[in-house]
Structure 1
């Protein structure tokens, strides 16, 4: 809430954010930063989530509620981000217009990769999926800032907003798996 409030009223944290963003724009190799930023595109992140949902359903059809929860959380991203963008109406770093807070690409990356990791982890021998999801999400945010698509607080705001959602998905998935493992099969 503090991040959103600071951005909305252009408080001291927002002023520091603009200074940091201007210092970071264009830093690093542009091609790598663009690749990182693209990780948050729906065309990249949604197929990863779809593959995880498909994998879980192939492994155990009784997990359809877990899969449905993952899809619902992904559908909630634009439902939460778009109204906030309209309400806050933050100017873009390098482009005309408003509506850049919070970062939809960061939210998409966090939810798609994080939820995919939560779905497949119970079926893996080693627990590598969540660290990979974290790296992909952080890389997305870094790329967005370095390319000048978002201010740093746009990214942080998305991480805070959807960081609160993912634990709910994890708890729900564990509960649903436990309840379906206790039910009888045919």
Structure 2
């Protein structure tokens, strides 16, 4: 099937890169389906959709830690979703001024460190441009706006899910930055 895809495209590609991409897409879709199934069972579909959209919007630009195996990735993704839903109720009980301060710190961290590229990615080792950092910061800012919108329309539970999701993304970014920095130093 892989050969047919390459032939159909009319371009030469590295088969390993395409195979890796297909596996990543398959595992991502499987993780999403598992989360959506669990969300339906737990009657938390709306919060789960918000969580998944936040990850799509923000994590894809910021980057972060990647598990070493596809199963590890699925397990971490599902655990992070479960944690975000569970702790979102606690987030909304914390004073909003605290969150404003935290989000200012997050913004500084994102502009300084994002995007984090995984060593297996084709772009690993590239120089990160100011434009890429600003794009990551802009995506984060969209997340902040959504939190404020949800807060003001009295959907604090959605705001809490976004708060937790963004917090998890920032933690993943910092862990990934540290791990991949060490990887880069060992490979030189």
TM-score class normalised by the smaller sequence: 0.3 to 0.5
TM-score of the superposition, structure 2-length normalised?
0.38
TM-score of the superposition, structure 1-length normalised?
0.39
